Every structure is written in C-alpha cells, then in structure tokens.
Amino acid sequence: MPMPQHVAEGTGQLKIDNGFTIGLDGYKDARLESARSRFIGTLSRVTGIPYHNDVPSGEPTLIVKTTGPSDAIQRVGEDESYHLEVTSTHALLTAPNPLGAMHGLQTFLQLVTITPEGFAAPAATIDDSPRFPWRGLMIDASRHFQPLEVIKRNLDGMEAVKMNVFHWHLSDNQGFRAESKLFPLLTGKGSNGLYYTQEQMREVVAYARDRGIRVVPEFDMPCHTTAWFAGYPELASGKGPYAIETKWGIFDPAMDPSRESTFEFIGKLIGEMTTVFPDAYFHVGGDECNGKEWDANPAVQAFMRAHHFKDNAALQSYFTARVQKLVAAHNRIMVGWDEVLQPDTPKDVVIHSWRGPEGLARAVRQGNRAILSNGYYVDLNQSAAEHYLADPLGGAAATLNPEQKKLVLGGEAAMWSEFTPSEIIDSRIWPRTAAIAERLWSSEDVRDVNSMYTRMAAISDRLVFYGLHHQSFSWPMLQRMSGQQDPKYLAVLASVVQPPVGYQRESLKQYDWHSPLNHLVDAVPPESNSARDFDNLVAAIVAGTASPDEWQQTKDQLTLWRDNDAKLQPSLKQSDITAELIPVSQTLAQVSTIGLRALDDLQNHRIADPATTQADTETLKAAEKPQGVLRNMIVSPVEAMVKAAAAQKP
C-alpha cells in the first residue's frame, strides 16, 4: 500500500534470512547510503533478524541500481518511478534517481512477510510511478505543539506510504511555532516557549529530504494570526492588547493591510524563513477572515475607500496580491487556501482546496494549479473508506478537461490539532492516511474498499516498526482512566465506540487549550475495527449468507458486549474520568440484548413481535445519539438485524 501501477506475479519466493544483503550499484550518494542503512534497520525491526550495516562482500541479495542524481531541491513532478524484480534467488531494483529507489525499497519492505519457510518476498515484477506529484500530510503544530520526535516519526510513516510533501502549519491564533531571529517576540510572546528553533527546522528539512519528502512551511495570514500580535500588536487591525488565543474557533484578529509596515514585516519574515525552507513553494494560508477588525478600524475603512475596495474580500485580495509579490521576490511560489483565489490571481499560485471540490475545479478552470484537502481532514474522525473514495479528480473536478486535470497536483491529508496533543496525534493520522496515500499514488480505478481495509490493516502493523504510536497509544490511556482497576472491561467498551464525526464534538462539550484530553473519546481510534468486523458479520446474516461459524461469532460477540456492563460498572464510579461512561456501558448492554433477541428471531425464522420491534427501534434510535461524547458503533448493525427480523416472510 499504495498499490503499484503494474504488478506481475512470479513463481516462488525470495528468502529473507540471516544471509540477506543489500548493495548499491550505479549512481551513489549520501542519501542513497542513508536510505540503505534505514532499509537495513527497518528490515531488522520488521523481521527481528539482526542485520548490520556492513557492505556485503559477495553479490548482494538485493541490488539497488540508480541511474543518476535527483534535483538538488526536490521538484514537484520530478521522476519518482522505479522498477522492481524479485526472483527466488535475487532482487533488482532500478530507478532513474534516488527518489524512485527509495520508493522501491519501501515496496520491497512491504513484500516481506513471514511464511512457513521463514521471512520471504514473493517473486514479482513491479513497475510503478505515482498518479499525482503532490502527496502530502499537513500537521498543525500550532494548536497543540508537536515535539520534534513526533514530526520525525510521522515523516518515517510518510516515507513508508510514499508521500512526498510535509506541509508544516507553523503559526495560528494559538501559537507561533517557528523561531525568527529577526522578530524574536513571535515565539517570545506567542508560543509559551513551545516552538522549533531554526536549527531544528533545518534538521526536519534534512530528515524529510533524506526520505524523499519536501517541506512546505505555512505561515497563515492575514487572519489566524493572534499569536503574532502577542509580540507585535502593531501588525493588527484591532486595538489589542493581544495574547495567545486559548480557545478553539474563528477569531476576529486580522493583520492591518492599510499599513506599509505590515508588508515590510511580512517580507522580512518570508525572507528569513526561505533561508530555512529551501522548497520552491511557500504556504501563506489566507483562510477564515471574518473581517470584524477591519470593519471596526477607521483607518482600514478609509484605506478601503481610497482604494475603492467594495468589501472585505476585495481588501483581502489586495493583501494576498501584495504577499504574493513578497513570496515571489524570494523566488518562491505561493500556496494559499481557497480564499486566496481571485480573478487576477497570478497563474503560478497553487490553490489549496479545503472547502470542497468546487473550489479546486474553479481554480483549475482559471488556470491555476490546485491541491485537495477537502475530504482528507483526518481530524474529523471519518472512516478510511470515506477518505479513500474522495478523489482529487472526483466531484466537480470530474468534468475538467484533460489539460485542466493536469493542473490538479494531488492532495494532502490535513491533521488539525485541537484535539490531538502528541500523545494522540499518531492515532488520528495513521493508518487512515495510508488510504489517502494510496488514493494519491495509485491508479484511479484502485478503489475496492474491502481490499483497502485488508491492506491498511497490514500497513498499520508495519507502521509500528517505523516507530509510530497509533496502536500503542490507547492502552496506557485506559490504564490512566482506570487507576487501580484492571482496564480490561473498559477495553471491551472502548472497542465499539468512536469519537463524533466532523465538528460535532465541540457541540457536545466545551473544549479549549486547557482541556485534559484524557477521556475515552481521546483514547479510542477514529475507527473501530471490532464494529466494522461486526458490521460485516451482520451483513452476511441479514443477506442470508452467513456460515454457522459466523452465526456463532455474532452471538458470542453480542454476549460479550451484553455481559460486559455488569463487570465494568463497579469500576466506572472509581474514577471521575470514567463516571461519564456509566450510561455508555449500560447502552451497550441494552443494544446487545436487543441484538441477541433479533439474532435469535432470525436464526429461528421467527417473525418479531411488532410491539417489541417498535420498542427496540425506539431504544436504538435513542442510542444513536452520542453519550459521553462517544458514538456506539454497533447500534446501526443491530438496527439492521431488528429490521430484518421484523421483515421475515411467514
């Protein structure tokens, strides 16, 4: 995962044992050497076989033959292809440059699995290259600061699934996270001491480049800028004083476009940051200006009249145009969110669509290039399937002509961090981002959801060996909630609930920067595997295709859930974090009891009593509503069973 463009299966398999070696051939450089070492380390972790970094003496098992160098600064659209041949005795990976070689190494690693004869890679011939040149992950390091090791291990995960852009959201109302030597108060008063030094950011750039990943920094403006104003209130349109915002949402503060000094400041900052970030692209945000500070500022109003700006959109358009020139002056190409698109936007500006595919199509029709994040917001707790089926060339973009389609560069998974301190963030990014990575790399017609889930489960296990915490994060949180109690019954409840989808969570409970994110909603992954498995069982039962074993599994599962409440209840009162789960656990028992009744009716071809059906349906309807800021994911399959039990023919 992502699925390669062409795979031809061969005969037999290549054993990966103690004697396995890897050697470089053709063009060599430090990055390839580093990729080789990293491959050896990953192969050791994936297999548990101790490989060492020594250069092999004989002919290596895997030869990596690279034709020539990559660009000094990784370019959008640079060749990323590779060719991989695995036979029962050897493997040969060829690539025009190190980018392709690195992708091929990741493919090889994915081929290695345990077999009855030991670890092995199946014989195969693979030709591969990406569908889109821009396959990104955005991490918001402002709302919750993400320490360096979080960034690094996520870059490792990106490499595993062949993503090539790390979009670093470095400033927002809640924090300015990038050290500026020209403007030290940006972090001095705008970060609570939580920021990246320039040395650390350069380290990330090098770390990413080593993995074939570009780093695009984002400094969001003219809004989402409260943290800037804490140190530099003169940039703002309002009166201030300003302090770091500790709430979530959309806020009024906005830069003052009527003053030349604002642009002088921005120009200098961009200049400074381009010394840290060599990438050709520079993201300036531009989203969600409510214009209230502009409306309230007489000088800004006078400026608008003088320039005949009819509304705030026109004012922002002016601002964007000025900033674009500053970006261009530093030899960078501007990227901005949907809102920056105006009729006169220069054609090289890249539009980053977050509001919907229409924005992307509009930008492209206007001749701009675009990338899609709408549909890829991994903070919203949607299913992997939903992300997977969102295509950069789907929706409104499906009607674009072939030339226009070429302007769609790809997309980015977006990890906004209101609810993701570093303890949790990996679980929101992975493994679902692997499904997005496949969407952006693989052929448009690779869209079988069941196949995706099977392969995503495999890559999820692999990503543990890349150092990601998406599987291990949960248990310690359950222990923390449980105190002296054994968390095993809490874990049963945890396995069937999910966080609310979209922005519903904020409507259920008040949250801000000080809220402890240590509840069950934080400790469960966005998608319940148990519930999905159960859903599949119920689908088979309702369709009449279930095997006796599947009937039994369904019954066992429902019995376990029904009986869990009695075991879990006494401990829930022992901790104030679990007290809110008292009704959640009760509901699970209730829903499971209904499920067992419906299952029994179905198994015995007994038409459910209409009164019972109606009462159960109402109970289930109520159970659909979130409790304890959690969704119970077995309600929907149980509803399906109740419906089927009632609809049986006599």
Residues at the contact surface with its own copies, assessed by CB under 8 A: 18, 45-50, 52-54, 113-118, 192-193, 421, 423, 458, 461, 464-465, 471-472, 475-477, 479-484, 513-518, 522, 573-577, 579
Look up residue 291 and give its amino acid. Answer: G
Measured distance CA(64)–CA(94) in Å, rounded: 6
Rg (CA), the chain: 27
Determine how many CB atoms are found less than 10 A away from the CB of residue 4.
Answer: 22
**Shortest distance, position 44 Cβ to its own copies, whole Å:** 9
For its own copies, the closer of residues 74 and 174 by Cβ is 174
3-class secondary-structure state, position 120: strand
- How far lies 159's CA from each of 2, 38, 82, 433, in Å? 11, 11, 15, 12
Angle at 622 between CA 619 and CA 623, to 5 degrees: 85
Distances (CA, A) of 511 to 105, 211, 516, 580, 632: 43, 37, 9, 16, 21
DSSP code per residue over 409-459: EEEEEEE--TT--HHHHHHHHTTHHHHHHHHHHS-TT---HHHHHHHHHHH
CA 124 remoteness from chain centre:
30
Q: What is the CB neighbour count within 10 angstroms for residue 452?
A: 24
Give me the catalytic one of 78, 203, 272, 288: 288
- What single-letter amino acid sits at 61? T
Nearest to 524 by CA among 427, 434, 425, 637: 427
Q: CB neighbours of 76 closer than 8 A, spacing ≥ 6?
A: 133, 134, 214, 280, 281, 409
| Greatest C-alpha distance within the chain | 81
> Cis omega (within 30 of 0) on the bond before 516?
no
Can you tell me the distance from the alpha carbon of 248 to that of 242, in angstroms, rounded to the nearest whole number?
A: 16
Q: Is 288 a catalytic residue?
A: yes
Four-residue CA torsion sign, 309, 312, 314, 317: positive
54 or 199, CB closer to its own copies?
54
Rounded Cα distance, 178 and 199, in Å? 10
CA separation for the pair 405, 355 (Å, rounded): 19
Catalytic residues: 288
